[in-house]
Amino acid sequence: MKEKKKKEKELPKGKGVQVKIRINLRSILLGIFLLLFILPAILSFIDLKGGESKVELSQALSDLKAEKIKKVTIQEDKLLLDYKDGGLKYTTKEPTDSFISLLEKVSLDPTKVNYTIADNSLIKAFGSVLGTVLPIALMIGAFYFIFKLQSRGAQDIFSFGRSKAKLFAKGKQDTTFKDVAGVDDAKKELEEVVDFLKNPAKYRKIGARTPKGVLLFGPSGVGKTLLARAVAGEANVPFFSMAGSEFMEMLVGIGASITGDTLVLIKDGNGTRLIPISEFVDQYYKKGAVDRVVKINGVETLGFEKKRTGFWGTKSKNSDKSVFETSAWKGVSGVYRHKVNKIYEIYYLGGILKTTGDHSVFVRNSGYIYPKRVDELKKGDLLVELPLNMRHWDYLKKKTVHEIKAHLFSKTEKKQYLDFWGEDKKLREKYDYVIAHKGQVSQYALAKEIGVSQATVGNWQRGKYDPQSLSKKLVKMNLPDKVLVSKELLKVLGFYTAEGRSNHGLHFVFGAHETDLHKECIDLVKKVFGVEPGKTYKTEDNAFRITYHSAHLGRFFERYCGTGSHNKRIPEFLWDLPRDYFLSFLEGYSQGDGYQTKTGKLVASSVSKQLISELAWLCSLHGIKVGIKHEVIPGGRVIRNKPLPSCEVWSLIIGRTTNPFLKEKVEYPYRFKRAIVNKVVEKSYKGYVYDLCGVENEAFFGGEKPVLFHNSRVRDLFSQAKASAPSIIFIDEIDAIGRQRGRGLIGGHDEREQTLNQILVEMDGFTPNDNVLVMAATNRGDLLDPALLRPGRFDRRVTLDMPDKEGRLAILTIHAKGKKFAKGIAWQKIADRTVGFSGADLENVLNEAAIQAARNGKDAIDMLDLEESATKVKLGPAKKKIQTEEDRNITAYHEAGHALVSHVLPKTDPVQRISIVARGMSLGHTEISPNGDRTHETKTRLIQAITSMLGGRAAEQIVFNELTAGASNDIKVATKYAKAMVVDFGMSPLGPVNLGSNSEMGDFGNLEWYEGPQISPAMQEKVDNEVSKIIEFAYKEAARIIKGNRKTLDAIVKKLLEKETLDKDEFEKIVGKK
C-alpha cells in the first residue's frame, strides 16, 4: 500500500491590531457592574475546575469503600478527592450532611479514612461581606439597565425530559420476509403462521386449533429476531418484544403496587424495622428516577411458607392455589417504583389498603389461598391477614377444629445480653477527631464539621471535660456492664414505653392510685439493674414520680424505646423474641397506658402511630387479633385549670376472645372477625407506587396490620397483547427463564422458575378467540423445559441453520444496500470464503469494510476492504506487533507448511489466504475454506485434514530441526479429530462400536439421560493406541510432502516474508492450481 503524506496547513500570519480604549465614567461604572456580576461565577468556576473533574457523591463514596482514594480534603460542602492513581476529582455534599455522617451511611469507619478540613474562615468572612455588598450593587445595576436598555424576551435554551426504558417494542413492523435472507425453509414454515393471524376465522370454521406458540431455534446471528419481526410485518399486527433476561430484570417479582405510606417489615444490616415502603425504596433511586427494578442484596421482608398438603388444587406447579402454613422471613432481590394516575382503595373489616388495580392481593377460600386482581375483588372476599383462623377436619377428634396461623418464632435457649453502656461510636469518633486535629484546624471549622459548638470543641481540646456519655468516672451508681434479656427487663421496658422518659436521668410517672405498679416498677428496676430510685414523690396533679439520677440509665432506656410521647417505639430485638417475652412487654405497656373494659377488651392508646402499628404487627405475629382506632381529639378541654391542645391518638384494641391477660376462661377463643372486603373504590392518584420484587412464594405482608400482597409477574405483557389482538409476543433468549425446572442447586422456588410457571399459565389461558401468538427464540434448545414444548404451548418449532452459499449471497445483497462499492466486486468469491458465517457476521463484514474504506479515504468499498474485513470478523483485527526475524521465519514456515500440505492432498479444501500478520492469540493463519457446503465427512477427508493440521509442525522440525510451542492448538484439534474417528465414528480396526459416553437426546437436543464411558482399562489402552496411530500416520505423511516439495516451500516462505499476506491467486502462482 502506498503511504499518503499528510499535508499540514500553515496558520495564517496574524495582522497587527490597533486597540483604542475610550475611558469615561459610564464605561467605568459598566465595567464595575459586570465585574461584580461575574466575579462569584469566576471564583466558583476556578474553585470547581482547578484541575479536578466532578464525580457523583455516590461514586466517590463507592471509591472510598474500594480504597481507591488516598486523601479527602473538606472545603465546606466541597470534597476534594486525591486518588491513588494520581487523579484529582471533586464532589459536593448537602450543607446539612457532615462528612462523618456520610461515611456512617455507607458503613465506613471514619478512623480508616484519611481526610482533613480546609480552614476557610477568612474566605468565608470575605464572602459574607461580598454577599452583602453584591446584591445592592446588582440591584442598582439592574435598575440602571431597565431604564437605559431595551429589554429582550428570554428564550428557552434547555428542554428537560426523562428517558424512560421501553419494556415492549410495540407497533406495526416495517420488516417483511423480503428483508430476511438465507432462511428460506423457515420462511416457508412461517407463511402458514402468518395466515393464522390474518384469517383466524377460516381455521376456526372447520374446527382447527390455531397454534399458540412458535419456537425459533438456531445458532446466534442467523436472524431469529428479524424473522419474528417479519412475521408481524407480513401479518400487519402489533409486535410486543422482550428478552428473556428482561423478564427477570424488569418484571420478575413486581408485587402489588402499593402507595408509599403502606407499612412493610424490613430486616437488613441496619436491623429490623416497620417503615413506610416509600422510606425504604426511595433511598435506592435518584430524584425522579422510575420504571426500573433496582437490585438489592441482604434484605428480607415478611412473606409466608406454603404448607405441604395432599389437596388436589395445590399440587400443580402452575396452580396459584396454596395452603398457608406460617409467616416467615423471605429474601428481597429488588425494589421498584413507578407513577400511576389512579389507585384502588380496599375497604375491609379492619382497615384500608391502597394499591393499583392491575395487581393482586391474596384471598382465602375453602382452606387455601390464591391471588386475585384488585379490580376484580368483590364484596365478601376474604383477605389473608395475620393472624389467620383456619378451619380443618380433625380425623382424631372427628370434628372441625380451628387453627390459628401466625408467625413461627424460634425458642430462645441461649441467654442474650444487651450492652448497658452502649458507647456512642459516632461521638467517640468525633471526640478522637477533635483531639487528633488540635492545633492543625481551627476550632470553628472542626465544630462545623462534626456538628457541635465551638465551645465544646475548645473544652475537649483543653481537657476540661470528656463527653459525658463517654466518661464512666462520673457514674455514682454501681451499674452493670451488660443486661440479661429477660421477661423482667421486657416488662420494665413496657412500663417505660408507657409512662417513662429520659431527661438527664430515668423517670417513671404513674397515677398516684396505682400503688401496685409503683412497687412493681421499683422492684423490677432493682432486680434488673441493681439500683434504687433517687427520689419518689407525689405531684400536685395527682401523679407519682419515680426518679433515678443516672443519665446513663436513662440513655439505656432511650436507646431501645425512644423518649417523648411521640417518639416511643418497641425495642428492636423484640421482633425475634418468642411470645412470652412479648407478652411481658405488652403487659407492662398496657398496665401503664391501657385499661380493660367491662366486656374484657384490652385498650392501649398512644400519640405515637409508629408504636401502635408496631404493637399491632407484633400482636398479629403472635396470633393475637387486634384492631386500631384513630381519633382526633379537639383542643380546648380543660383539666385542672389547664387547657389541652388538639391531638391525634391511636388506640390498640384486643378483643375479649384473644385478650392474653383475661383471667376468666373464654368460651369461644377463636371467634374473631375476618378481613372481609366491604367495597373497592377507584380513585384518581398522582404519585409513586412501590413494590418489593423477587420475594419467594411471590408474596409479602404490608399494611397497618399485616395483609398478604401478591407478586404479579408477566401479566402486564400478556394483557397488553390481548388488548391489541391480533398480536405477537416475542420472547428472545427464552432459555434465560425457560430452563428445565428442578435441575441444579437453586431449588423449586427460584424466581426464574416462578416466572416460567407464570408464562405457562398465561399461555394455557389463551383461547382461540384471543388471537395472540407467542414467538420465542433460543440457541440453547437443549436447556428448555419440556413443558414449554408440549402441544398447546409452542406448537410449531422452526429450526434455522447457518446460511448456505446462495443464502450468503442473498444476505450480502440485502446488507449491501445503501453502501458504495467499486466496480469488479466478486460477490461469489466473498460468499465462497465466508462459509460458517451467520447473517449477523455477514452484515458485520460489510460494515467493517465500509469503516476501513472511509478510514483510508476511499470513495467506495473495494475487494481488498472486503477481504480484510472478512478476516477481521473471523480472526480479529491485525496486530502491529514487532517480531524478531527468527519469529517471522518460524511463523512463515509454519503457515507455509499448512498451506503446502493442504494443497498437495487431493481431498482437502483449497487455500484461500496465508498470513503471518498476528491476529487475536495467533501469530499467523492459513485460511482453508470448503468449495461448497456439505454435511458429511469421509474417513479419507478427516485423515487428510489432520495431516494438514500437522503440516506446520512438520515444516518447523524439517527446516529448523527444532520444535516450538506454536503448534499446540493444531495438535489439540488433530487429536480431537482422531479420537472422534475411533470413539464416535467407528473409523478404526476396533470396529463400529461406540466407545464414548451414551446419552439420549430429545427435542432440540434436550438431554434425556446420560451415561459416562463404560469401557475397561484394556479397551481404553486400545483406543489410545489407535488415536496415536492416526496421528503418527498423518505426521509422517505431512513430513513426506514437506521434504518432497522443499523448494516450493521455500518459495512460498520467501514471498510470504516479503508481502506478509498471500491470497489464493498469489499462492497458486507459486504452487499451481489445485
Chain-centroid distance, C-alpha 322:
29
Q: H or E segment at 692?
A: strand 677-693
Residue in 385, 895, 956, 1026 annotated catalytic: 895
Q: Exposed (0-12), middle (13-18) or buried (19+): which is 712, by Cβ within 10 Å?
A: buried
Residue partners of 929: CB distance under 8 A and separation at least 6? 832, 833, 835, 909, 910, 912
Torsion angle, alpha carbons of 169, 172, 177, 181, to 10:
-30
Grid look-up 455514682 returns: 476
| Cβ–Cβ < 8 Å for 753, 761 | no
| Cβ–Cβ < 8 Å for 373, 695 | no
Grid look-up 456519655 returns: 469
CA gap 937, 933 in Å, rounded: 11
Grid look-up 474485513 returns: 869
CA gap 829, 276 in Å, rounded: 68
Grid look-up 377463636 returns: 670
CA gap 254, 513 in Å, rounded: 55
Grid look-up 428483508 returns: 179
Grid look-up 434547555 returns: 158
| Cβ–Cβ < 8 Å for 293, 165 | no
296: cell is: 438489592
CA gap 99, 93 in Å, rounded: 8
CA gap 1013, 995 in Å, rounded: 7
Edge-first strand listing for the sheet containing 213-217: 239-243, 727-732, 772-778, 213-217, 796-799
Would you give the DSSP letter of residue 292? S
Active site (annotated) includes residue 667: no
487-499 and 579-593 helices cross at what angle (nearest 10)?
A: 30
CA gap 299, 284 in Å, rounded: 13
Longest dimension (CA), the chain: 124
CA gap 564, 898 in Å, rounded: 88
Residue partners of 627: CB distance under 8 A and separation at least 6? 350, 652, 653, 654, 655
User: Rounded to whole angstroms, what are the CA distances from 507 to 215, 549, 559, 817?
Assistant: 73, 9, 15, 86
Q: Which of 988, 990, 1012, 981 is nearest to 999 (CA)?
A: 1012
What three-state secondary structure class fits 590?
A: helix
The DSSP secondary structure of 386-424, one letter per residue, reads SSEEEEEEETTTTEEEEEEE-B-PPP--S--EEESS---
867: cell is: 477481504
CA gap 928, 939 in Å, rounded: 19
CA gap 646, 855 in Å, rounded: 79
Task: Count the neighbouring beta carbons within 10 Å of the beta carbon of residue 713.
Answer: 28
CA gap 525, 833 in Å, rounded: 90
529: cell is: 439493674
Q: Which of 469, 476, 488, 492 is nearest to 422 (CA)?
A: 469
CA gap 36, 38 in Å, rounded: 6
| Cβ–Cβ < 8 Å for 930, 1024 | no
Which residues carry out catalysis?
895
